[in-house]
Structure 1
Amino acid sequence: MLSIFGAILLRDSFSCPPITRRLQDEAAAERPATTAVLTPPLSLEGGLAAEHRPPNLLRRVLSLFGNVRPGSDLTQFQLPPLFNMPKSQLQCYGEAVYCIGEDYLNKCAKGKSSLERFASVVAWSISTTRPALFGQAPFNPVLGETHHVSRGSLNVLLEQVSHHPPVSALHATDATENVELIWCHKPVPRFHGASVEAVIKGKRHLKLLKFCENYEMDSPNLLIKLLPTTGADWVGDVSIRCKDSGLEADLCYYKSHVFLGFGGSSKSVRGKILHSKTLKTIYEIDGQWDRIVKLKDVHSGEVTVLYDAKKAISGLKTPILQAPQNMWPTESATVWSEVSQAILNKEWGKASAAKQNVEEKQRKLQRERKSSGELWVPKHFTVTHTKDNEWDCSPLEQSVPPAPIIVPP
């Protein structure tokens, strides 16, 4: 998931019209596809990222924003490796889908009624909310970077389809459960003096093919607080709609009972499930996404557990490389392998040099494309702009093939 500054450190400009990706493919061919560094996913315990928290964290973070004005767009802000966790943002997005304890995604496809399936979709949506760590951010994916992982019959593929603005696309299919996921995420971060808020634009589509149901939903925003207390929380409204069943849900992520930035119950989520036409509430939702979220039947008063974070996002397993010969050179775990390994070893000078090398290769490719008149095109998705200048991504293939990286059973 998105961590502090995880989507704000982007540089190179990107033009959308497709012509060729020859230069990108040539650069990828220079990297050995068998080199990969895979690290534990973000979970309730914080996982590997918690072990790499830099000293004097607040002072270091505040120093980064010394010359940044409130309201500024941070998409070209630079971050040293000391503040990076050893993984790419594409990996964080993917982990929200394929790294899970209790499988809420498969529950969606096994619901006996449209209402039961809808409630399961709400629970699954909450399960994709993962801990955000203050002071650490994943790498910003380079243009054309991919991440391809399988868990059982679920195959997940991500691609960075734009670098500036940053846009990530996800496609996942499960032929056994007849499930398909399509995401298009565009974070828009801004500095507000005492905080940074990254608005996650774009839609997620979850399709239950067996029932011909398409669920459309958005994401909460990441709020990074600098003063008077530090922290990173998911906030804002999330809507989930299924036109096929006529059901919808409205969720609100928030922190309650705050006084001067202190106290309050963080990681709270509240909402309701209702009929779209009558707007009549069926269920009320209340709880904390990192603990328990409960579902209350407004008619009977019965309360049940909708989501249990301890079962869903604790003790998550680290993906492993099963078939290195089949891994693409554009794989996140390969592109950032040298940087990630240096961070794991706390060799900050080596990490900085390796990161600069990755970024310089991208700038070189951009200059070569510009001089030759070649425009880059995504390899796995088509990209279009909507009427309101937002982005929409569609997969080129009907299904995602099995991946060389797998989540162990």
Structure 2
Amino acid sequence: MTSTDAFSMSAVSAPQAVTAPRPKKERDLRLDFFRGIAMFIILFAHTPGNPWTLWIPARWGFSDATEMFVFCSGMASAIAFGATFDRAGIFLGSMRVAYRIWQVYWAHVGLFFATVALMVFLTDLDITSRNYWGNLNLWMLFVESEMWDNPNILFSFMTLQWVPNLFDILPMYMVILAMMPVVIMLARVHFGLVVAASLLMWLLAQRSLTEAFGLPYLNFTAEPWLGNDNWQRRWFLNPFGWQLIFFTGFAFMRGWLPKPPVTAWLIALAAALVLINIPFSNIGVREFDFEFAREWRSAHRQWFSKTDFGVLRFVQFLALAYLAWVIAGDKGARIRATASTLGRLWAPILALLLKVGQQSLAVFVVSIIVGRFNGVVLDLVGRSAMTVLLVNLFGMALLVATAYLASWMKSQPWRVKGGVNAAA
């Protein structure tokens, strides 16, 4: 036997080293569950002329699905990026955050151009009678005018200086993500610095407050050709205001803020805050015709401003989040127990919600496009109860399909197949 044969025989007969797989971290059921619900609500809210929008949770109080999504994103970011900062340090942790911002940026760009292309196509159809790209305030993209001083519109868009209507949440999310390394470094000195920095940014993002005291207003311009000193078109979702709720969720998941106790008086207080909101909500004014609430809303819009994340939105959301946290149980134990109890009725629905929540970025991007498309379909077929139901179910089915497709693609099935073929 030659030395080569001996080496070959030993290589075949030698036991292969087996690497123990890393234990898979259990996902927090609550995050995926509530993000899944938020994705469907966002679909309904972004479908023009959708009657279901009149009854979404936002109509019952000051906060809406945006708070739910941003708060849960803060908690998810603490899980996804916090361990990287702890394990690999500030530099590599920041690089991972930068990579995520890069992904979100191109999702934003792709979403915009895909939506514009779809709206132009639908506007040009013989069966439609509306200018759908005009409804998105895209006139400056297609119509030249001296009032805009011939701006480089595409450059303004690519550098996030021009943030068109509807395309504001991903830019806001990118800016908040960019704050994360600074927040981590401040927390390593003292958590009080995080609280002070977050509150200071939030205060300077309150337009009415800065106007009253002559302070600089923190927000980005959404239409640079109108000048930086105008107050008419800034980012609709001000990242310097919305970072407060993002880093609240981030701090809870990092353990910087303790879990609130589950007590009867705290549950009663949270429930009372939620109920007190209803007379002043859209439902209270629209359905119950509370004149005092209408007058109060007109005079105090700054307290529940969506752009600057008014304080009443924060208070009401915290009350809702506490009640949801109590109902869901630790890591969603009660949600899972309910699935076991109801079995065939609830378990499939829960599985769909969790999958949609797990793939929130891909689902969100698709939901914006599908929502605009569904609005055109409703214009064409009418808005009877049946057509509205079918169109909304169609949109929900597309979101579920997107979630499962994104999950399957992330699993990289081609690598598994390639490994099997190589072994054979």
TM range (shorter): under 0.3
- TM-score for the superposition, normalised by structure 2: 0.25
Q: Which has the higher strand share?
A: 1
Structure of higher CA gyration radius: 2
Q: Which has the higher helix share?
A: 2
